[in-house]
Structure 1
Amino acid sequence: MSDSPQATLTGQLRSGPDKVLRSAGRSRGGLGLAAVAGAFTLAQLLLVPPWMGLGWDESVYVSQVSSHAPAAFFSAPRARGVPLLVAPVAVWSSSTALLRLYLAVLSGLGLFLALRAWRGVLRVRVLATAGALFATLWVTLFYGPQAMPNYWVAVGALAGTGYFLRAGAGGRDRTALWGLALSAALMAWMRPVDAVWAALPLLVLLLGVRRWRRPAPLMALAGGLAAGAAEWVIEAYVSYGGLAQRLSDASRIQGGLGWHVAVADQLRGLAGRTLCRPCTGALPPAVVTLWWYTLPVLAVGAAVVAVRARRPAATLVPLACAGSAAVPYLFLIGYAAPRFLLPAYALLAVPVAGLLVHLVGAPGRIRRPLTVALVTVALAGHLAVQFAVLEHTVRRTTVSHREWARTAAALHRLGVRPPCLLTGHAYVPIAYYAGCSSAAIGGHDANTTAAALHRSARSLPVAALVPPGGAPPGYARSWTPADAGELRVYLAPPPARPEREDRGRAGEQPGRGLSAPGNRRSSPAP
């Protein structure tokens, strides 16, 4: 962070954005950023097997555009960004390996562009360090090649903050204005509410701080957020009963937004629990959570160094955005998932990297070698912990996904083939694997009734999935029990179809047209 006066270009926040870019020359070393992004892509392909099947949420997103299975129920909090992101592959191929390869390459490109947005604000060595810190977190590596929105909100937040600092400098950087707008649109396209939280400090600066009040950056930021969220808002009125109703439903599905201190829940998730709901049990060992406790200390240290050097903007702005992005997932919901904090981690990586570069570059015949040695040892230990957690998480996730695939294959052997309908335990991912529709009569994703399930059974195979030792739901007690992998399955009486109808259905594409994607009140029953 303190390489030289020519290396910064942050200026004082109080002196206004006019001086933010004046003291720095153009940085070089785009190849360094490309190397970090390329290493990130390669690490994903090596450490997260491309053949690892799709998870529950991924099945929902991919099914919206998949040629393999009908669209699953699309609940109120979700947005259409991920389905559009995966569409270039999912619309014509059901290969999970191909989808993972595509997303790994795309996520590496996204990281490169997000880091490049900061060129001219910070030196390349700081940006490369920031990229490496963020890219080597187990949660970043794990979710980079997945069809999930959180990584892309993180990339948008990181890029948008860099473009904001460039756009607020008072020059005529049209690239920065367009970059700010597109970054905001990307965030809102993926998760509109998360986008607002991540951009809130930027909006406060543009509206509430006189020296930062400039119409062009404000219009770019607000316009980008509006453009990205437009489809979500329109869909709210078309399929969810209005915007207020969709927000209310989203809050209910997330357990009711309100004061919930989820810090301990997030700590439990650091051991590789991809979803901690309910979040019980002991906290992970201290060696697993030490880096998380260290982050706030490093952030404060970075802020102190930046303020003392009279160039706080490039440190305090991402810190403010990181804190704002983390607020809802630390204090407003009653459960946790490590991926929720990816935007905060991406933003924190910038000031933390600046502090580390500053410490390593501090002069002193004894102090400098000692600092380099301590930082090297600390980072090596940190990487060892991250990769150990990643290996454990990948192994456990792969096992569960393979079990879903085995259950789907067993269902096919039992005669449950597309077009078909599944409900019950783990019904969404298993239905995707089997090429079936999915439905639930209770819970957060309830979208049908028992009567509708019985009506569906008159025309297509319907099965209820029950975990080992569980009892069948009331509507399925008279259905035929069978084993499907580790699960117990209850098969509805087979539909009686005339021979002519059977011949007519023989040419149909499996699993198409059985559900109405995105319609909160629709039932997958025909």
Structure 2
Amino acid sequence: MADSPNITLTAVRRFSGPSVAGTSWRERGQGLIAAVAAAFTLAQIFLVHPGMGLGWDETVYVSQVSAHAPAAYFSAPRARGVSLLVAPVTLWSSSTTLLRVTLAVLSGLALFLALRAWRGVFPVRVRALGGALFASLWITLFYGPQAMPNYWVAVGALAATGCFLRARADRTDHSALWGLAASAALMAWMRPTDALWATAPLLVLVVFVRRWRRPAVLIALVAGLAAGAAEWITEAYVADYGGLLGRLAEGSRIQGGLGWDLAVADQLRSLAGRALCRPCTGPLPNPAVTAWWFALPLFAVLAAFVAVWHGRPARTLVPLVCAATAAFPYLFLIGYAAPRFLLPAYALLAIPVADALLQLVTASDGRWRPVAAMLVALGLAGHLAVQYTVLHRTVARTVADRRGWSRTAAELHRLGVRPPCVLTGNESVPIAFYTGCSSAAISGSNANTTAAALTRTAVRQPVAYLGTPSGRPPSYAHGWAAHSFGGIRLYLSPRTVPTKAPGGRR
């Protein structure tokens, strides 16, 4: 059954719980949502190692606003939202633990606000269960405390869609308009292109569907997107990106060229804990690891069926369509995968799927269906066990890898590579951050210099090339002192002076 063109507040009360207008911050049952958000924060702190070193992309974002190391090359697809988010911590402290705990707290607060944005659209228990489903994914827990944009796009998309539905249902709910603008700005602040994909259905509805047209909603959505993307667009012209179209083209090139490219199998491979699957080869993970991923679209279809059956499709179909558009480019337009790419889609699916699950376990009179409830509970218990197992293995492997970067940085310091200095070669971006050096590349997506420029720099300050034991150094590094450490072949420029050991020995 289609929504009435003149949906009333009475209908919203009947189908969706309390009125969205003037709802108090002490709305009944909000403690349940707060408990979910608090549990999410604590789970990040205790399950994701707070002292886990910064990853490759994190060092790029953090270096822009850190006194610890020079700013790394900032490629075209990146936006500065993450850098500004972490600036209050990184400008005065180099503590990774402090940064992780701060981000865990902020991500929990953001989840609470995003779930609360749906007040009056879905009951509290649906929102709480949806929040728990999203927050319990290993991907959400792993990236919540990281200096990465994807989680923030996800909660922004979740909040924006909830505020959009509230604003459409109740013209007196001005807080929904402000929430819509703020959420859209958050998404665009973090990743402008992702924000457009996630909000495309909202823009289509409010522009092309007559019964959804409302100028105030359109203004709030467009103003939020414009405000969030303003810095990124301005930078496209003032920096060396060749304008907005040039930046978009360069971003596409760095991502391998956007075009039809089926990446569904790549995403499946990444679910076993691979932070970046590029190239994405090897066998698929154990079916137990990917079962939830196949079940998710089935429950989404069930949610759509339930919504249509009960005559209230808008509140379910809108987030489902937004989830589909948010996921589309990462499933069909790029040739690699990372599990974090689909976080916005998972967040948008969470509440409709939670509603479908609760419909399965409760009868029309509100009583529990014991058999269905037991089966759903067993399924969720198995799901949580799998998520914890993958998270534990991913954290352990990541901590070990980043400790390896830290040991390499210490060895470079011992060999005399100290700021001001430059690193180039394999994994030079993160290791340079750990060492306190600049990073440089003469080719690839992070190319920011030339071989001639590196040669000139090596006359003035220490330069190190990070190679492999079997590889050959580039021409500019021929004749440089070679050292082996931890599976890395280090080539040091003549300006490098090793640190003297106690007693005057080197």
Q: TM-score, normalised by structure 2?
A: 0.94
> Tell me, what secondary structure is at the counterpart of 1:458?
helix
- Are the counterparts in 2 of residues 157 and 347 from structure 1 also a CA contact under 8 Å? yes
Residues 152-167 of structure 1: matches in 2 within 5 Å? 152-167=152-167
Quick one: structure 1 residues 287 and 364, their matched pair in 2 at CA, closer, same or farther if it must change by over 3 Å? farther
CA apart distance, 1:367: 8.2
Alpha-carbon distance in 1 for matches of 2:270, 2:98: 29
CA apart distance, 1:171: 2.0
Deviates more, 1:163-172 or 1:430-439: 163-172
> Tell me, what secondary structure is at the counterpart of 1:423?
strand
Alpha-carbon distance in 2 for matches of 1:379, 1:241: 50
- 2:337 counterpart residue number: 336
- Are the counterparts in 1 of residues 362 and 368 from structure 2 also a CA contact under 8 Å? no
Q: RMSD of the TM alignment (CA)?
A: 1.6
CA apart distance, 1:172: 1.3
Deviates more, 1:13-22 or 1:67-76: 13-22
Alpha-carbon distance in 2 for matches of 1:474, 1:16: 72
1:30 to 2:30 alignment: yes
Quick one: structure 1 residues 17 and 407, their matched pair in 2 at CA, closer, same or farther if it must change by over 3 Å? farther
- Are the counterparts in 2 of residues 459 and 495 from structure 1 also a CA contact under 8 Å? no
- 2:236 counterpart residue number: 236
Alpha-carbon distance in 2 for matches of 1:190, 1:339: 14
Structure 1 regions of 5+ residues with no counterpart?
1-10, 497-526
CA apart distance, 1:473: 1.8
- 1:192 counterpart residue number: 192
- 1:271 counterpart residue number: 272
Quick one: structure 1 residues 435 and 356, their matched pair in 2 at CA, closer, same or farther if it must change by over 3 Å? same
Quick one: structure 1 residues 289 and 47, their matched pair in 2 at CA, closer, same or farther if it must change by over 3 Å? same
- Are the counterparts in 2 of residues 482 and 488 from structure 1 also a CA contact under 8 Å? yes
- 2:94 counterpart residue number: 94
1:319-365 per-residue CA deviation (whole Å, 9 max, x = no partner) reads 01000100000001010000000000000001000011111112699
> Tell me, what secondary structure is at the counterpart of 1:443?
coil
Alpha-carbon distance in 2 for matches of 1:132, 1:367: 20
- Are the counterparts in 1 of residues 117 and 159 from structure 2 also a CA contact under 8 Å? yes
- 1:502 counterpart residue number: none
- 2:501 counterpart residue number: none
CA apart distance, 1:227: 0.5
- Are the counterparts in 2 of residues 410 and 485 from structure 1 also a CA contact under 8 Å? no
1:250 to 2:251 alignment: yes
Alpha-carbon distance in 2 for matches of 1:124, 1:76: 41
- 1:176 counterpart residue number: 176
- 1:142 counterpart residue number: 142
Alpha-carbon distance in 1 for matches of 2:312, 2:436: 56
- 2:419 counterpart residue number: 418
> Tell me, what secondary structure is at the counterpart of 2:369?
helix
Number of residue pairs matched by the alignment: 486
Alpha-carbon distance in 2 for matches of 1:63, 1:370: 54
Structure 2 regions of 5+ residues with no counterpart?
20-26, 498-506
- 1:6 counterpart residue number: none
1:415-439 per-residue CA deviation (whole Å, 9 max, x = no partner) reads 0001110000100000000000000
1:109-135 per-residue CA deviation (whole Å, 9 max, x = no partner) reads 000000000011110000000000000
- Are the counterparts in 2 of residues 418 and 436 from structure 1 also a CA contact under 8 Å? yes
Residues 370-519 of structure 1: matches in 2 within 5 Å? 370-494=371-495
- Are the counterparts in 1 of residues 13 and 120 from structure 2 also a CA contact under 8 Å? no
The AA in structure 1 aligned to 2:211 is: R
CA apart distance, 1:16: 4.5
> Tell me, what secondary structure is at the counterpart of 1:490?
strand
- Are the counterparts in 2 of residues 407 and 486 from structure 1 also a CA contact under 8 Å? no
Residues 237-386 of structure 1: matches in 2 within 5 Å? 237-239=237-239, 240-362=241-363, 368-386=369-387
- Are the counterparts in 1 of residues 361 and 368 from structure 2 also a CA contact under 8 Å? no
CA apart distance, 1:469: 2.5
Deviates more, 1:294-303 or 1:360-369: 360-369
The AA in structure 2 aligned to 1:262 is: A
Alpha-carbon distance in 2 for matches of 1:355, 1:13: 19
- 1:21 counterpart residue number: 12
- Are the counterparts in 2 of residues 416 and 462 from structure 1 also a CA contact under 8 Å? yes
1:435-474 per-residue CA deviation (whole Å, 9 max, x = no partner) reads 0000000111111001100111111110000123322122
Deviates more, 1:360-369 or 1:80-89: 360-369
Alpha-carbon distance in 1 for matches of 2:368, 2:148: 44
- Are the counterparts in 1 of residues 415 and 496 from structure 2 also a CA contact under 8 Å? no
Alpha-carbon distance in 2 for matches of 1:234, 1:224: 16
- Are the counterparts in 2 of residues 52 and 401 from structure 1 also a CA contact under 8 Å? yes
Task: Provide runs of 4+ in structure 1 moved above 6 Å.
Answer: 364-367
- 1:512 counterpart residue number: none
> Tell me, what secondary structure is at the counterpart of 2:12?
coil
Asked which structure has the greater RCO (Cα within 8 Å, sep 6+), the reply is 1
- 2:81 counterpart residue number: 81
CA apart distance, 1:477: 1.9
1:37-95 per-residue CA deviation (whole Å, 9 max, x = no partner) reads 00000000111011100000000000000010000000000000000000010011111
- Are the counterparts in 2 of residues 18 and 168 from structure 1 also a CA contact under 8 Å? no
Residues 27-66 of structure 1: matches in 2 within 5 Å? 28-66=28-66
CA apart distance, 1:12: 5.0
Alpha-carbon distance in 1 for matches of 2:348, 2:366: 33
1:215 to 2:215 alignment: yes
Q: TM-score, normalised by structure 1?
A: 0.90
